[in-house]
C-alpha cells in the first residue's frame, strides 16, 4: 500500500497546479488584462464618453435645459429626415447583399485555389484597402467622370456622357456601394479566408469521399461553419452603412452641389451641427443611428448565435 501511495503522489503533483504552473497562469492572465486594458481605455475615451455626452445634448436644449424627447421629435419632423434615412436604407440593403455575396464567394474561390495563387490574389484584393478611404473615393470620382476616365468608352456605351448623368439621384446608392466595396471588401475577404482555413481538413476530406461537390461542400459545410464570422461582418457592415458620410459628401463637393447635401443621415447631422450650429439636433440624429445599429446587431446576434460556445450547444 505504501508503494502505491508513493507512486500516486507524484502523479497528483504533476497533474495539479504546481507553483511554477500557477505563476505561468498568473502571468498569462496579467498579459491578457494588459492587452485588453488599452482597448478598454480607448473605447471609454472615444466611444462610451462621447455617447453619454451625445445623450446629454439630445435631451437638452442650447441653454442646457432638459427637454426630454423634444430634440428627437423636432429632428424627425424635418422634411429632410425621412428622405435621408430612406436613402441610407436603400444603400444598406444593396451594400449588405453585395458585400456578403461577393466577399464570401471570392473567399471560397480563393480557398479552392493553389496556395501560391491564392496568396497573390489575397494581396491584390487587400491592396485597395491600403489606400486611405478618402483617397479611394477620389480615385472613383476620377473613374466615373466620362471626360477624364480611362473607362469613358464603357460609360458612354452605358449612356453616361457627363459626370452629372453618372451621379443622377437614382444611381447614387449603387455608386456609393461600388466605392465602399472597393475600399473595404478586401480586408473582409482576407478575414473570411482565414475563417475557412480553421475548418478541419478531416471534415472536408470526408465530404469529398462521400461524393459531395464543391458547391455542396461550400453551401452545407463551409458557410454554416463560418456563420459566426459572417454575422460579425454583417453587424459591422450594417453599422458602417447606416453611417455613410464620406462618399456622398465628397461627391457633393466634387459635383458643385449637384446632389442633395443631406443625402444621408450623417450629412443631415453635419448640417445641423456646422451649418446651423445646432449640436443638440445633431446629437439626436446620431442617437437615432445608434439605436438602429444596436437593434440590428441584437437581431443578428440572437438569430445566428454569434457569441455561443460549444458548451452552449
CATH number, domain at 89?
1.10.3720.10
**Residue 132 domain flag:** yes
**Residue 13 domain flag:** no
**Residue 11 domain flag:** no
Query: What are residue 66's DSSP bridge partners?
Result: 60
196, three cell numbers: 475557412
Q: Show Cβ contacts of residue 76 under 8 Å, excluding neighbours closer than 6 positions.
A: none
Does residue 224 sit in the same domain as residue 299? yes
N- to C-terminal Cα separation, the chain: 44
Report the range of poorest mean pLDDT among 7-21, 73-87, 106-120, 199-213.
Answer: 7-21
pLDDT value of residue 6: 43
**Residue 1 domain flag:** no
**Residue 285 domain flag:** yes
Give the pLDDT band (50/70/90) at residue 303: confident
Does residue 258 sit in the same domain as residue 287? yes
Give the pLDDT band (50/70/90) at residue 19: low
- The angle formed by the CA atoms of residues 106, 108 and 114, to the nearest 5 degrees, is 100
Contact between 163 and 255 under an 8 Å Cβ cutoff? The reply is yes
Does residue 170 sit in the same domain as residue 286? yes
300, three cell numbers: 443578428
Contact between 231 and 190 under an 8 Å Cβ cutoff? The reply is no
Give the pLDDT band (50/70/90) at residue 233: very high
pLDDT value of residue 83: 96
Give the pLDDT band (50/70/90) at residue 11: very low
Last residue of a domain, one of 11, 35, 58: 58
Does residue 36 sit in the same domain as residue 109? no
Place of cell 502505491: 4
pLDDT tens-digit map of 79-130: 999 999 999 999 999 999 999 999 999 889 888 875 555 566 666 666 666 6
What's the full length of the chain, in residues?
Answer: 313
- The residue with greater pLDDT, 9 or 161, is 161
Does residue 42 sit in the same domain as residue 148? no
Does residue 40 sit in the same domain as residue 185? no
Does residue 233 sit in the same domain as residue 287? yes
Residue 10 has pLDDT above 50, yes or no: no
Give the pLDDT band (50/70/90) at residue 69: very high
Residue 199 buriedness (CB in 10 A; 0-12 / 13-18 / 19+): middle
Does residue 28 sit in the same domain as residue 165? no
**Residue 128 domain flag:** yes
Residue 247 has pLDDT above 50, yes or no: yes
Does residue 48 sit in the same domain as residue 166? no
Residue 219 has pLDDT above 80, yes or no: yes
Does residue 152 sit in the same domain as residue 41? no
Note down the domain range covering 126: 70-304
Average pLDDT of the segment spanning 29-47: 86
- The residue with greater pLDDT, 253 or 133, is 253
> Looking at the 3D structure of the chain, how many domains does it have?
2
For 19, 135, 145, 163, 178, the CA distances from 148, given in Å and listed in that order, are 71, 17, 6, 10, 19
**Residue 3 domain flag:** no
Average pLDDT of the segment spanning 147-161: 88
The secondary structure of 144-180 as a DSSP string is T-TTT-TTHHHHHHTT--SHHHHT-GGGHHHHHHHHH
Give the C-alpha separation, 209 to 231, whole Å: 30
Last residue of a domain, one of 33, 58, 83: 58
**Residue 270 domain flag:** yes
pLDDT value of residue 307: 77
Residue 4 has pLDDT above 50, yes or no: no
pTM, two decimal places: 0.82
Instruction: Please state, for a pLDDT cut of 70, what percent of the chain lies above it.
Output: 82
Give the pLDDT band (50/70/90) at residue 42: very high
Give the pLDDT band (50/70/90) at residue 201: confident
Does residue 249 sit in the same domain as residue 123? yes
pLDDT value of residue 119: 66
Does residue 147 sit in the same domain as residue 48? no
Query: What are residue 60's DSSP bridge partners?
Result: 66
pLDDT tens-digit map of 269-283: 999 999 999 999 999
pLDDT value of residue 127: 64
Give the pLDDT band (50/70/90) at residue 238: very high
220, three cell numbers: 452545407
Amino acid at each position: 500500500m505504501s508503494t502505491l501511495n508513493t507512486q500516486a503522489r507524484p502523479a497528483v503533483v504533476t497533474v495539479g497546479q504546481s507553483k511554477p504552473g500557477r505563476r505561468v497562469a498568473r502571468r498569462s492572465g496579467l498579459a491578457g488584462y494588459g492587452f485588453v486594458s488599452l482597448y478598454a481605455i480607448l473605447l471609454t475615451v472615444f466611444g462610451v464618453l462621447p455617447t453619454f455626452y451625445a445623450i446629454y445634448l439630445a435631451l437638452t436644449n442650447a441653454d442646457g435645459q432638459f427637454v426630454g424627447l423634444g430634440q428627437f421629435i423636432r429632428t424627425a419632423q424635418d422634411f429632410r429626415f425621412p428622405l435621408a434615412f430612406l436613402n441610407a436604407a436603400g444603400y444598406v440593403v444593396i451594400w449588405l447583399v453585395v458585400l456578403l455575396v461577393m466577399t464570401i464567394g471570392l473567399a471560397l474561390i480563393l480557398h479552392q485555389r493553389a496556395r501560391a495563387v491564392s496568396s497573390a490574389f489575397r494581396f491584390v484584393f487587400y491592396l485597395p484597402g491600403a489606400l486611405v478611404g478618402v483617397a479611394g473615393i477620389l480615385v472613383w470620382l476620377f473613374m466615373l467622370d466620362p471626360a477624364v476616365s480611362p473607362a469613358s468608352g464603357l460609360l458612354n456605351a452605358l449612356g453616361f456622357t457627363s459626370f452629372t448623368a453618372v451621379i443622377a439621384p437614382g444611381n447614387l446608392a449603387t455608386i456609393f456601394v461600388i466605392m465602399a466595396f472597393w475600399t473595404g471588401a478586401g480586408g473582409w475577404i482576407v478575414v473570411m479566408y482565414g475563417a475557412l482555413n480553421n475548418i478541419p481538413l478531416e471534415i472536408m476530406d470526408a465530404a469529398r469521399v462521400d461524393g459531395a461537390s464543391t458547391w455542396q461542400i461550400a453551401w452545407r459545410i463551409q458557410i454554416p461553419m463560418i456563420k459566426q464570422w459572417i454575422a460579425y461582418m454583417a453587424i459591422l457592415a450594417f453599422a458602417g452603412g447606416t453611417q455613410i458620410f464620406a462618399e456622398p459628401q465628397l461627391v457633393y463637393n466634387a459635383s458643385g452641389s449637384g446632389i442633395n447635401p443631406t443625402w444621408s443621415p450623417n450629412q443631415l447631422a453635419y448640417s445641423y451641427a456646422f451649418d446651423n450650429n445646432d449640436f443638440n439636433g445633431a446629437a439626436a440624429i446620431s442617437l437615432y443611428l445608434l439605436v438602429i445599429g444596436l437593434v440590428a446587431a441584437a437581431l443578428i446576434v440572437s438569430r445566428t448565435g454569434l457569441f455561443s460556445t460549444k458548451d452552449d450547444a
